[in-house]
Amino acid sequence: MTKPSLDGIFKPQSVAVVGASNRPGNIGREIVHNLIEFEFQGPVFPVNPKLRTLHSLKAYPSVDAIPDPVDLAVIVVPKEQVSTVVEACGRKGVKGLVVITAGFREVGGLGIAREEELASLLNRHGMRMVGPNCMGVINTDPTVRLDASFARTLPITGDIGFMTQSGALGEAILSIASRKGIGFSMFVSVGNKTDVSGNDLLLYWENDPATRVILLYLENFGDPRRFTTIARRITRTKPIVAVKAGRTTAGARAVSSHTGSLAGRDMATDLLLTQCGVLRAASVEELFDLAPAFSMQPPPAGPRVGIVTNAGGPGILATDACVGLGLVVESPSPATRERLAPILHPEASLENPIDLLASGTPEMYGAATRAALDDPAFDALIVIFVPPVMTRSEEVARSIANEAAGSPKPVMVCFMGAEEGVPGVAELRSRGLPVYTFPESAANALAALHTYRQWRDRPDGRVIDMPVDHERAARALESAREAGRDWLTGPEAREVASAARLPVAVARTVRSPAEAMAASVEIGFPLVLKRDGPGSEHKSDSGGVRVGIRNAPDLEAAFHDLGGGIEPLVLMEMIEGGRELILGMIIDPMAGPLLMVGTGGTYVELLRDAVWRIHPLTDLDASEMLRTMTGYPILTGYRGEVAVDTRSVESDLLRLSALVSAFPEIVELDINPYIARPGDGMNRIVDIRIRRETRPGPDQPSSRDPS
């Protein structure tokens, strides 16, 4: 069922503050104060049975006693009273709630029951709610002017929608943003997300013309798959930048496959954000570096950067940072050098960086900025100014801003050593130019803009419907389930893979020399004989495999060497030539299935050349996965070697993705080695391991549940 709009929360015509107080420092008092000071464009109703007035406003003993309609209620009463107040708001016809009060799910025990009761009341009355356990919401729209928070810093109007899962951090963010001149369209502290989630806010901001950039401080994903779908669509038109806390949280489970050992901590979060075009900031500090760049400047058309400076050292720092971030620093065009030569000092450098020297004047800064922006050799510009004693920084700032005005190319400005509040810095920011203290920060922000441009221009891939013989695979999985096994046997795993039309090498289980001889006639020499039972994951290390068997006597000897007759062995066609890869899948508790391709064979853990994507794969994902492997050139004929059929590998990655879609009970899969060879249809899977999920009990969540 479609939930009501969030307009009742963010665009209310009237606000009641339930739990308002006249005690200095009380949260209820601060919220009423902020609503008035920020000039909310509607009536404010303080609610407290012990008050007659607050801030010259008439107070009411309860929500029911307010004679006028109430769109939004901000609740700041003790936790034991919240449900009663919410029930009263429902009777009153209140559309939105912001519950500041803590003491719910975050404390466990009875708090969980309190929060469940809140959710039930919301559903019953059709209300939307931010919180509980939050610091409030803000909308700077001039027609609304809503500051329903207890933050001490009044926000600046801007075009950034900001969501934080930390109320305490939200207070600091508003303060820092104010000092840096960063403005918000809306600001939301979501608290426990009982109702309104980050995904709800993304959908709301997607169609909000006042919000051009979205910033997120995340501590967890409630529904990561829904987030991926929504964010992937939004980032085509609006940038999303996120800080995700908890990079080093211990959450890795014990795994016994090659695939599991290659999955790094925090990898799923990076994949999730990258695959939907969200730029991940490493820290809140970096978030504030990126925010003004995305808010004030367009993405560059390409990676080529021009640098203007009045000091050699900062110019070198900017150059190194740009190159290290994948940007290109090349010489200006001859026309630009000829244009600037008569204007600059004879000792000035006309290369890139264009060095005006310490004696560079505001006029020289203006001329160099204009020439660089006109130069087709540059897609973007970084202007660095180290304030010398003889030059007024505000005049340099004005000169830069005048020439950069209206430029389709992004301009980043670095005023080294300039503190907040310096006239030149204020001038630049007021003219729509982001200002940084260090060259590296300016380069990093520009690189993020370039990354976003690449994402925005990237074509959408398609999830290809690859055939899977469902009944055939289901029988093999059922066999393992009936036997009470998590890991499938070799024959079962090969059967499942074959059902997905993956190119499994021909193999037969043999229990006697006679069976081995009969199978050798069927398969044909040369052959491989190996152990295939429990504990045989690393056969080459334990001596559990014999390769290059080319005749019957060698086969009989190998059979006895490996203990044939005591345990079943597997006789398999020997695949000669080609390149060894690994394909795999594991389940991440947060993001669901992760698929992987990398350099395979016995050195898989040592080389750790693996590329991951979140399931399901598109055709573009499969292609990019292969091409971003460190060892990809080896597959394409490095130094004159024969190239393998990479298109077949891409198809098999899509077949693997289809198998994972068809059978959610598969929670770990390891194909190593997968031998890629020249010629269509020549690739072969030599070894495959599959682990299925043990059925959870009634109180035990499935490992596929992302929330």
CA gap 409, 371 in Å, rounded: 12
Extract the tokens encoding 294: 């995305």
Residues 558 and 633 in one domain: no
Q: Which of 457, 479, 502 is the last residue of a domain?
A: 457
421 pLDDT band, cuts 50/70/90, is low
Neighbours of 442 (CB within 10 A): 30
Q: What is the pLDDT of residues 14-40, one digit of tens each?
A: 999 999 999 998 999 999 999 999 999
293 pLDDT band, cuts 50/70/90, is very high
Q: Pairing between strand 354-355 and 305-309?
A: parallel
CB 152 within 8 A of CB 31: no
Q: Which residue has the tokens 């729209």?
A: 141
Residue spans of beta strands (DSSP E) within 299-408: 305-309, 354-355, 380-385
CB 509 within 8 A of CB 570: yes
Q: What pLDDT was estimated at residue 705?
A: 40
CA gap 594, 192 in Å, rounded: 28
Quick check: is 550 in a domain? yes
**Largest interatomic CA distance in the chain:** 103
Predicted confidence (pLDDT) at residue 538 exceeds the cutoff of 60: no
CA gap 305, 411 in Å, rounded: 10
Coil, helix or strand at residue 690: strand
Q: What is the pLDDT of residues 312-339, one digit of tens each?
A: 999 999 999 999 999 999 999 999 999 9
Q: What pLDDT was estimated at residue 265?
A: 54
Spatial CA neighbour of 165 closest among 209, 122, 195, 135: 135
600 pLDDT band, cuts 50/70/90, is confident
Residues 603 and 491 in one domain: no
Quick check: is 199 in a domain? yes
Coil, helix or strand at residue 534: coil
Element holding 98 (H helix, E strand): strand 96-99
Residues 264 and 123 in one domain: yes
641 pLDDT band, cuts 50/70/90, is confident
Quick check: is 567 in a domain? yes
Q: Which of 573, 603, 628 is the last residue of a domain?
A: 573
CA gap 294, 239 in Å, rounded: 7
CB 147 within 8 A of CB 36: no
Q: Which residue has the tokens 């559990």?
A: 544
CB 599 within 8 A of CB 609: yes
CA gap 684, 583 in Å, rounded: 12
- Of the listed ranges 61-70, 117-126, 538-547, the one predicted with least confidence: 538-547
CA gap 21, 32 in Å, rounded: 9
589 pLDDT band, cuts 50/70/90, is confident
The pairs formed by 475-484 with CB atoms below 8 angstroms and a separation of 24 or more are 477/663, 477/665, 477/666, 477/692, 480/692, 481/692, 481/695
Burial of 481 from C-beta contacts in 10 A (0-12 / 13-18 / 19+):
middle
Residues 91 and 199 in one domain: yes
- Of the CA atoms within 13 Å of residue 549, those in its CB half-sphere come to 28
Extract the tokens encoding 14: 């009237």
Q: What pLDDT was estimated at residue 127?
A: 98
Predicted confidence (pLDDT) at residue 77 exceeds the cutoff of 50: yes
Q: How far is CA 519 from CA 511, 516, 530, 564, 576, in A?
A: 11, 5, 14, 14, 19
We report the CATH number of the domain holding residue 529 as 3.30.1490.20
| Cis-peptide, bond into residue 467, ω within 30° of zero | no
Extract the tokens encoding 362: 């505001």
CA gap 657, 613 in Å, rounded: 10
Q: What is the pLDDT of residues 542-565, one digit of tens each?
A: 578 999 999 999 999 999 999 887
Q: Looking at residues 517-540, what average pLDDT do you find?
A: 81
Extract the tokens encoding 643: 């190239």
Residues 630 and 554 in one domain: no
Residues 440 and 511 in one domain: no
Q: What pLDDT was estimated at residue 680?
A: 81
Query: 1-39 burial string, b = 16+ CB within 10 Å, else e?
Result: eeeeebbbbbbbbbbbbbbbbbeeeebbbbbbbbbeebe
CA gap 413, 427 in Å, rounded: 12
Quick check: is 463 in a domain? no
Spatial CA neighbour of 401 closest among 421, 377, 373: 373
3-state secondary structure 377-398: CCCEEEEEECCCCCCCHHHHHH
CB 425 within 8 A of CB 391: no
Quick check: is 697 in a domain? no
Residues 390 and 531 in one domain: no
Predicted confidence (pLDDT) at residue 703 exceeds the cutoff of 70: no
Extract the tokens encoding 227: 């987030």
Pick left, alpha or beta for residue 484 (phi over 0 → left; psi -120 to 50 → alpha; otherwise beta). left
Q: Which of 513, 539, 573 is the last residue of a domain?
A: 573
Quick check: is 507 in a domain? yes
CA gap 656, 674 in Å, rounded: 12
603 pLDDT band, cuts 50/70/90, is low
Q: What pLDDT was estimated at residue 706?
A: 33
Q: What is the pLDDT of residues 345-372, one digit of tens each?
A: 999 999 999 999 999 999 999 999 999 9
Higher pLDDT, 348 or 266: 348
Predicted confidence (pLDDT) at residue 704 exceeds the cutoff of 70: no
CA gap 271, 289 in Å, rounded: 22
Q: Which residue has the tokens 């999955």?
A: 263
Extract the tokens encoding 416: 């080294």
CA gap 679, 242 in Å, rounded: 44
3-class SS shares of the chain: helix, strand, coil, % to 5: 40, 20, 40
pTM of the model: 0.88
Residues 194 and 319 in one domain: no
- Of the listed ranges 75-79, 110-114, 530-534, the one predicted with least confidence: 530-534
Domain count, the chain: 4
CA gap 201, 187 in Å, rounded: 10
DSSP state of 43: -
Neighbours of 176 (CB within 10 A): 16
Q: How far is CA 306 from CA 147, 292, 302, in A?
A: 42, 20, 12
Predicted confidence (pLDDT) at residue 282 exceeds the cutoff of 90: yes
Residues 590 and 531 in one domain: no
Q: Looking at residues 136-165, what average pLDDT do you find?
A: 96
Q: Pairing between strand 545-549 and 527-531?
A: antiparallel
CB 240 within 8 A of CB 231: yes
Mean pLDDT of the chain: 91
CA gap 19, 61 in Å, rounded: 10
Quick check: is 705 in a domain? no
Range of the domain at 510: 470-573
Residues 584 and 629 in one domain: yes
Residue-wise DSSP of 391-432? S-HHHHHHHHHHHHTT-SS-EEEEETTPPTT-HHHHHHHHTT
Residues 407 and 342 in one domain: yes
Quick check: is 703 in a domain? no
Q: What pLDDT was estimated at residue 626?
A: 96
Predicted confidence (pLDDT) at residue 700 exceeds the cutoff of 90: no
We report the CATH number of the domain holding residue 345 as 3.40.50.261
Extract the tokens encoding 99: 């519950």
307 pLDDT band, cuts 50/70/90, is very high
CB 658 within 8 A of CB 466: yes
Q: Pairing between strand 53-54 and 44-47?
A: unpaired
Residues 174 and 39 in one domain: yes
We report the CATH number of the domain holding residue 642 as 3.30.470.20
